[in-house]
């Protein structure tokens, strides 16, 4: 058996792992690279395998850095099933067509640029895939239930467990039998932070021979929830009388958690009369899907998060749909909280809101999620003084706030505690979905405190098991 690390190795995005055993080969994840100037080029490179030879695909969750290359896979000839939870399947109905739309718009914009010859050289004037490819991909998704054992092929079965990261996210357990030997591989996917709003905590896994584990925040703890609330209230109090608050948020997961957080603050009278605009058609659809899957909520969220309560406690919550409505928000000079995608500020309507508010010292930008290296959001977090948006140079005068306590990823203490759930150390542990420093920090703790055998693979690395 072999595992090839095709993405999210030494980096956070572009998740993709090829597993080969006997006459069977399959993918776990098929994600898009996000952040950095080389991402569009990398996403257009041919696959390092023949898609027509794949037997099946397993998907941990719907975020584009895990699912975004599935339409490209179908376009290249893959004809099998894509196994995912019901909630993930519902979210893919929204995310993949939206991603295709972005691909088409970006390609059209690249073709109009003066340096379009260079764009044509790298294929940037052609979308990675089309809307038709995305819609065709949805026909290949096969829904599975948490905790059900699934027979995938002779000698291969799997089970999806709740990862608590976003709606429908999963840890995938895979049993592979070769001859007289059965090995269990566990892909953690992205693990959620325990005790966070809305979703249940990640499931505890007790056994694995081979563990592929995320390490996004492997070098730090998140801020405590009470401290996070105090920081948010302070930002609102200081900013809203004279300026706006812009919140870049992933349409799936983060937007819903931010709404939940604002609802909690309003119910406890810590904030009042908020004017909240969710300016992302995809986020609006994802929020509606979230409310259709309340069986996945934790008990507190089931009691609290209903549209009736949102309407009572957050009466000024608006979901904008049209481009005209979005443009009208840029005329508001103060008192608005604008939640918009993309979460890393590299695409979508958020760029327009940053363009109109970054240069104003009375405004604030609240970063609530991970920002990949090279992304506009990462540059803002790192303190850049000047950015270019739609060809316009903008001085960064607004205050930039990183609200780590709202992260949907497990922090270092939570990752260690999840690892302690194993009854004995996995024979082999590979840390992925992390930049170098977080992965190294987590590896050190797992090795020194739990006596684990840990390796941090490089992209394209192949590991073999006899």
Average pLDDT, the chain: 89
> Is residue 420 very low, low, confident or very high in pLDDT (cuts 50, 70, 90)?
very high
Is pLDDT of 196 > 80?
no
Give percent of the chain with pLDDT exceeding 90.
63
The torsion angles phi and psi of 456, rounded to 5 degrees, stand at: -110, 100
Give me the mean pLDDT over the 277-293 stretch.
80
289 vs 448 pLDDT, higher one: 448
Strand locations in 122-155 (E): 141-144, 149-153
pLDDT tens digits for range 296-332: 877 766 655 554 455 555 678 888 878 899 999 999 9
Tell me how far apart the alpha carbons of residues 159 and 164 are, in angstroms, rounded to a whole number.
16
Tell me how far apart the alpha carbons of residues 298 and 218 are, in angstroms, rounded to a whole number.
25
Query: Do 85 and 168 touch, CB atoms closer than 8 A?
Result: yes
- Classify residue 355 by burial, with Cβ atoms within 10 Å: 0-12, 13-18, 19+: middle
DSSP β-bridge partners for residue 454: 429
> Cβ neighbours of residue 389 under 8 Å, at least 6 residues apart?
351, 354, 355, 358, 376
User: Of 230-244, 260-274, 280-294, 350-364, where does mean pLDDT reach its minimum?
Assistant: 280-294
Tell me how far apart the alpha carbons of residues 140 and 57 are, in angstroms, rounded to a whole number.
10
- Classify residue 298 by burial, with Cβ atoms within 10 Å: 0-12, 13-18, 19+: middle
> Is residue 351 very low, low, confident or very high in pLDDT (cuts 50, 70, 90)?
very high
pLDDT tens digits for range 45-99: 999 999 999 999 999 999 999 999 999 999 999 999 999 999 999 999 989 998 9
- What pLDDT was estimated at residue 390? 87
Q: Which domains does the chain have, with CATH numbers?
A: 2-220+408-464 (3.60.15.10), 225-406 (3.40.50.10890)
């Amino acid at each position: 058996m072999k595992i090839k690390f095709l993405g999210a190795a030494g980096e956070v995005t572009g998740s993709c792992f090829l597993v080969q055993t006997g006459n069977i080969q399959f993918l776990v994840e098929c994600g898009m690279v996000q952040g950095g100037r080389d991402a569009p080029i990398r996403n257009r490179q041919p696959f390092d395998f023949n898609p027509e030879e794949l037997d099946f695909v397993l998907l941990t969750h719907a975020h584009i850095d895990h699912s975004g290359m599935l339409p490209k896979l179908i376009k290249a000839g893959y004809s099998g099933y894509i196994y995912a939870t019901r909630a993930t399947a519902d979210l893919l109905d929204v995310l993949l067509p939206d991603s295709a739309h972005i691909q088409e718009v970006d390609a059209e914009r690249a073709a109009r640029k003066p340096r379009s010859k260079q764009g044509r050289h790298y294929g940037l004037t052609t979308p990675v895939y089309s809307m038709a490819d995305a819609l065709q991909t949805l026909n290949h998704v096969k829904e599975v239930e948490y905790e059900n054992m699934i027979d995938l092929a002779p000698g291969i079965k799997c089970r999806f467990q709740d990862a608590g990261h976003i709606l429908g996210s999963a840890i995938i357990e895979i049993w592979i039998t070769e001859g007289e030997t059965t090995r269990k591989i566990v892909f953690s996917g992205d693990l959620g932070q325990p005790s966070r709003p809305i979703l249940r905590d990640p499931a505890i896994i007790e056994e694995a021979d081979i563990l592929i584990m995320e390490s996004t925040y492997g070098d730090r703890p998140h801020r405590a929830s009470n401290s996070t609330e105090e920081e948010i209230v302070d930002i609102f109090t200081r900013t809203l009388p004279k300026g706006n608050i812009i919140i870049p948020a992933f349409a799936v997961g983060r937007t819903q958690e931010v709404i939940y957080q604002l609802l909690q603050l309003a119910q406890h009278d810590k904030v009042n009369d908020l004017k909240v605009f969710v300016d992302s058609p995809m986020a609006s659809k994802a929020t509606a899907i979230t409310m259709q899957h309340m069986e996945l909520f934790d008990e507190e969220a089931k009691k609290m998060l209903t549209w009736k309560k949102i309407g009572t406690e957050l009466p000024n919550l608006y979901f904008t749909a049209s481009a005209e409505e979005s443009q009208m928000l840029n005329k508001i000079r103060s008192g608005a909280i604008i939640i918009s995608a993309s979460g890393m500020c590299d695409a979508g309507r958020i760029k327009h809101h940053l363009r109109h508010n970054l240069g104003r010292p009375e405004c604030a930008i609240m970063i609530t999620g991970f920002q990949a290296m090279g992304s506009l959001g990462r540059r803002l977090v790192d303190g850049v003084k000047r950015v270019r948006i739609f060809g316009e140079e903008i001085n960064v005068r607004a205050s930039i706030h990183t609200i780590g306590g709202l992260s949907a990823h497990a922090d270092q203490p939570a990752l260690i505690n999840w690892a302690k759930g194993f009854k004995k150390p996995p024979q082999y542990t590979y840390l992925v979905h992390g930049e170098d420093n977080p992965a190294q920090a987590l590896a050190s703790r797992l090795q020194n405190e739990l006596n684990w055998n840990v390796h941090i693979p490089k992209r394209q690395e192949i590991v073999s098991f006899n």
